[in-house]
Structure 1
Amino acid sequence: MEAQELFMNGEFIPVERGVISVRTHGFAYGTGCFEGIRGYWNEQDQQLYLFRAREHYERLLRSCKTLQISLPYTVEQLLEITVELVRRNNQRQDIYIRPVAYKNDQTIGVRLHGISDSFLITTEPFGDYVATTGLRCCVSSWRRIDDNAIPARAKVCGAYVNSALAKSEALQNGYDEAIMLTHEGHVSEGSAENIFLVLNGELVTPAPTENILLGITRDTVMELARRELGRITRERSIDRTELYNAEEIFLCGTGAQIAPVVEVDHRPVGSGQIGPISKALQDLYFEVVRGKRPEYRARWCTPVYSSVPASAS
């Protein structure tokens, strides 16, 4: 069901009223930050679960701090507003929630201080962002933004021009997704996803210092791999050619979920099929996000609707 309402500057309003001026600072200069939160519909429970919404809002507030944006809400209040918005829209399918905090003055001048802040949340029906059945990737000619240029730890609106350049380059050259390198030539992440490799049987991912967004799905994967598969993830620098020798590769993120990679730069990854570790983590992830694993549901899944069948408890 398409959303009928959104939340904007302290009130729930019809979606058609959710507009900003063309002179808005955040529109002109990219001076905003955002989050993407998925909600997963569980047909058996007749329940919509918001996955790790708390952690997303904690990260949003950290991004706001970087951009000198002040929001008048706590994490708890943001969770309450979000649940209420989804209820108002009566959405009972997989959805994507987009909170955006941005500089709102209609002024000319590049800066962060002395400008008023605004906030909105939208919710939309949402399926797969990228295929989860095997991606063909290329190493992008566009390098990942550096922490001393636009902080990669913050989800800064303007920073996604970097991602858009890499994504379009990949798609227009016949690939499904891009893999970006740092300026030092180390593997960083996809255009909008973290990356994991299996090398010599070991699960490896770029370290936080490789200009990655500290992904919530990335953290989820690392915990599931440790608790369910008995595999510790190594965080380290990864060279480009290690992509060509990996037994398995997968991308992950709120949008991408768990998306195995079967080819990089025309070279098959492993056998060219989805590997066993990638498949096991993907299966686990889709059970967890839909609230089908009780040991994770209470901690990671926020139910939207009040009544849940006894079978789900």
Structure 2
Amino acid sequence: MSAGYGRLIWRDGVFMPWEEATVHISSVGHASVSAAFEGVHAYWSSTREMLHGFRLREHMQRLLDSLRMSWMESAFDADALVGATVELLASWQAPGKDLHIRPWGFAAGTHRQQMVPRGTPAEIAIETWEFESKLGQGRTCTLAVSSWPRFHPGASPASMKVFSNYHNGRLGNIDALARGADWPVFLNASGHITESSGACIALVKRGRLITPPLSDGVLDSITRRTLVQLAREELGLDVETRPVERTELYLADEVFLMGTSAEVLPAVEVDGFPVGDGRTAGEITRAIESRYHDTVRAVTGDHDEWLTPVHLDRAAGAPSPPSLTASSHARSTA
């Protein structure tokens, strides 16, 4: 049985069974070069007995921004995509589970030429599946500075979250694993630290949190924004956003990755240099991870503006499934 059997996908305003959401093989290839995507998490709150999408609208707006920079046009605005996602999440009959959400847009129709023309309509699909959060489980990773440099933002803007940009990350992953590390760290043309594969990076030195600037070729990560704000406002940390040299990672007191999938992932080694005690996360990283956990799970309620609630049909004991024929959320007329 297919891993997605019985699930639903939202596709251009229509809910359909997972196994029926197909495209012809002629519709992939060149058309995939311009495809944009997002990764979003929805966390279950045992305090409120409710699922919440984390900073869902910001993710949807970034998807639309990436499509716009790819010269593709969406028929839906961010609010419509948020509404469709909430309906899709509510179709899961699994209270207590965390869900990963992948919205993505690609060139509609069949394209056999190298370039997808400017103004091509974007088909948008939203898929979701269960994932297991690793927050608070004491996991760590090792890092290696990649032999592959970070792609130049002047050639392909790092602000575009498009599939084609992630081939650079794939090469770095293979390189890191071959050298016995878990994840790569990419340098830009100036030799400055940028990010890892699918995750931003931060270090702690003498109680100060330091992270590279977006201008060095770093994706404007929503998780990065979140953790920087929590570090400043909730933990009272000084935060520096500035160029970071490779050797600063070797001498850092703490290092961690941050992203939707990475969440908060402490590093205990960089290029063979131990970070901290070389075995466990540092005190500040643990405090940031704990604060992030409490935020996404609505433990404290300090940032409800970041949480999109998903209401379940408690009377029936399960969510009410959306219509398989059409979404209740209209297309944008903007």
TM-score in terms of structure 1 length: 0.92
Structure number with the higher helix fraction is: 1
Superposed CA deviations along residues 53-111 of structure 1, whole A, max 9, x for unmatched, are: 01111211111110012111122111110000111233431111000011123122222
Q: For residue 291 of structure 2, what is the amino acid of its counterpart? A: L
Superposed CA deviations along residues 38-59 of structure 1, whole A, max 9, x for unmatched, are: 0111234221111110111121
Aligned to 1:281, the other structure's residue is in SS state: helix
* Structural mapping, 1:242-261, within 5 Å: 242-261=248-267
Partner of 1:98: 102
Deviates more, 1:74-83 or 1:106-115: 106-115
* Structural mapping, 1:1-313, within 5 Å: 4-25=7-28, 29-92=32-95, 93-112=97-116, 113-128=118-133, 133-272=139-278, 273-296=280-303, 298-305=304-311
Aligned to 2:23, the other structure's residue is in SS state: coil
Q: Larger relative CO (CA 8 A, sep 6+): 1 or 2?
A: 2
Q: What's the offset of the Cα at 1:26? A: 5.8
Q: For residue 292 of structure 2, what is the amino acid of its counterpart? A: Y
Deviates more, 1:100-109 or 1:134-143: 100-109
Superposed CA deviations along residues 186-224 of structure 1, whole A, max 9, x for unmatched, are: 100011100011123211000011111000000000110
* Structure 1, gaps ≥5 residues long: 309-313
Percent of counterpart pairs with the same letter? Answer: 35
Deviating beyond 4 angstroms after TM superposition, the runs of 4 or more aligned structure 1 residues are: 25-29, 128-132
**TM-align CA RMSD:** 2.0
Distance 1:83 1:119 in 2: 15
* Structure 2, gaps ≥5 residues long: 315-334
Partner of 2:327: none
Aligned to 1:222, the other structure's residue is in SS state: helix
Q: For residue 108 of structure 2, what is the amino acid of its counterpart? A: N
TM-score in terms of structure 2 length: 0.87
Distance 1:260 1:217 in 2: 15
